[in-house]
Structure 1
Amino acid sequence: MELTTSPGRIIQSVQRAFDLLERIAKHSEGVRLSELADGSGLNRSTAHNLLASLEELGYITQDRKGAAYRLTGKLNGLLRPDAEAEHALRARIRPVLQAVSAASGESAFLGLVSGSNYLCVDAVQSDKPLHLAVKPGERTALLGQALGHALLAADTDLGHSIRGHDPAGWKHHAKEIDDARRRGFALDLDSENAGISCAAVAVTPCAAIAIAGPTNRLPELRLIEIAQQIREELDKVRPMGQGWF
């Protein structure tokens, strides 16, 4: 069924779904089915079906069946920071990339969440003959990469969304993500790309820095040292009394 408005048409089911999303967005602590149905004028069966679809798509979540609905981070993941904010972040993080790349001798890069991927927005390449080449503009899946795991560990809602979208992939990498949450940094010890290892630290829930290079130069203890150095360099440039974006 469609509702016709001027100057265009609105599909009623789409309108209802967005109305529910907007209502949930007003309640950071979550809101229950009965309140959503009554507030939107929908019968509970219709509201439940729409909410089930939104949950399956990863835009809302419940801690358990029958609990309140709340937004995940998926909507935020669809949006990149505006150009001015991203430029400011890159300018502030650039010295960190340069410092950790020089100290480690490996390539350093900055990635931002972009849906179920991360987007490389800046990189400093190693000057060693054999190194990992990372190019700004490259998109990589969050699951399976140290930088992605650092971001998933930093953002519970993003984790809920990715887990709902790819439960098998999440299960396969759950320990690495849990380790990243516990440690405050993520490691990839030659597990995803043969001969390449990586350490990554989240700057914010939507941005992270990584160092990567040949595994023979990056044993686990060395990666841990590099992760700690990334955190120290970030502390030097962290804004006082304001957010990164």
Structure 2
Amino acid sequence: MTDEIKLSNKKQIQSLARAAYILEFIAKNHNSASLTQISKNLGLSKSTVHGLISTLEDFNYVYQDQTTGLYQLGLKLFEMGQVVYASMDLRTIAYPVLVELSRQYEETVHLALLSGNEVVYIEKVDSSRSIRIISQIGGRNPTYCTGVGKVLLAGLPVDKVEKIVETTGMKKLTPNTIDNLSDLKCCLAEVAQQGYAFDLEEIEMGLRCIAAPIKNHRGITIAGISLSGPTNRLPDELLPQLATDVVNAAHRISEKLGFKDN
């Protein structure tokens, strides 16, 4: 390879391309490489490689073994890979159940994961009605004021919940939004006990949501599903039955992932 890594696309950014090559080289070199090896094999100066790899270290994409001095791929890549792997497999398993639940109530159903400090929607089935929830796969929302966010938070240790809230804050989006950590903790304790969560016009007035957790074979909450619709179509008297059906749908997906409810 020459001193300048050739870009396959004019729109590529050289520093990013070089960083990608470094990650790929470490992986192909049995997840262990020295600065000299990386420099030699990529045809870059040691100073250039050191600057790039230092930045990758700052973001936990690589780390240096303090005993050997060799660089290895960091846990950040593992975490990201786990999200991708889980979402791909999970979407395939969950989709038929999402379709069934959506058709039952003619409302929008989402499948979501916790990504960083936010909820990210990885699958959805739209309502068949003309008035429906506007959302998109890949869209993100806060955790504290969404039904699916609450079931995901309820599966975390308290210190993790505190860290997320500290990072994102708790902006009061509607008069119904929980905007302090104390009330949120009480809410999450109730969610953990009952196995489902509501968003009763907490992120947007006129919108309601019922969510339940999806658990893996170890009983750990890894995702959540939710059914959302306009408040006038999800009245108070319908909420108990909705909660039961959403929980059952989530449980069916969990069982397909190996979860056993003892």
**Length-normalised TM-score, structure 2:** 0.59
Describe the shift of the 1:194–1:80 C-alpha distance in structure 2 as closer, same or farther (beyond 3 A): farther
When the two chains are superposed, the root-mean-square deviation of aligned CA atoms in Å is 3.6
The alpha carbon displacement at 1:82 in A equals 5.1
RCO comparison, higher one (Cα < 8 Å, 6+): 1
User: Which of 160, 178, 190 in structure 1 is aligned with 2:189?
Assistant: 178
Where 1:95 maps in the other structure, the secondary structure is helix
CA distance in 1, matches of 2:192, 2:78: 19
Q: What do the CA deviations read for 1:31-68 (whole angstroms, capped 9, x no partner)? A: xxxxxxxxx9xxxxxxxxxxxxxxxxxxxxxxxxxxxx
Match of 2:211 in 1: 200
Q: 2:146 — aligned with what?
A: 145
The share of aligned pairs that are identical, in percent, is 23
Partner of 2:118 in structure 1?
Answer: 117
Secondary structure of the 1:234 match is helix
**Per the alignment, do residues 80 and 129 of structure 1 end up closer, same or farther by CA in structure 2, a change over 3 Å counting?**
farther
Aligned partner letter, 1:232:
N
Counterpart amino acid of residue 232 in structure 2: N
Match of 2:163 among 156, 161, 164: 161
Which residue of structure 1 aligns with residue 39 of structure 2? none
1:106–1:78 CA distance, 2 compared to 1 (3 A) = same
Q: TM-score, normalised by structure 1?
A: 0.63
In our comparison, the structure showing a higher alpha carbon Rg is 2
| 2-structure distance, mates of 1:143, 1:217 | 23
Specify the SS of the correspondent of 2:205.
coil
* Structure 2, unpaired ranges of 5+: 1-34, 37-45, 68-75, 171-178, 216-220
**Aligned partners of 1:151 and 1:184: how far apart in 2?**
11
8 Å Cα contact 1:117/1:141 also seen in 2: yes
SS in 2 for 1:194: coil
- The reply to whether residue 102 of structure 1 matches residue 103 of structure 2 is yes
> Aligned-pair distance for 1:216?
0.9
The answer on whether the counterparts of 1:143 and 1:170 sit within 8 Å (CA) in structure 2 is no
Closer, same or farther: CA 158–76 of 1 in aligned 2, 3 Å: farther
TM-superposed CA distance for 1:188, in Å, is: 1.1
Query: Gaps spanning 5+ residues in structure 1: where?
Result: 22-39, 41-74
Q: Counterpart amino acid of 2:200?
A: L
Equivalent residue, structure 2, for 1:60:
none
- 1:234 alignment partner AA: A
1:224 to 228, 233, 240: 240
Q: Secondary structure at 2:82's aligned position in 1?
A: coil
Maintained 8 Å contact 2:108/2:124: yes
Aligned residue for 1:129, secondary structure, equals coil
Aligned twin of 1:92: 93
Number of aligned residue pairs: 188
**CA-to-aligned-CA distance 1:178-202 (integer Å, 9 cap, x gap):** 3312221110112320100100111
Deviation at 1:92, TM superposition (A): 1.0
Question: Aligned residue for 1:45?
Answer: none
The answer as to whether partners of 1:145 and 1:188 remain within 8 angstroms in 2 is yes
Match of residue 234 from structure 1: 250
Kept after mapping to 2: 8 A contact 1:187/1:198:
yes
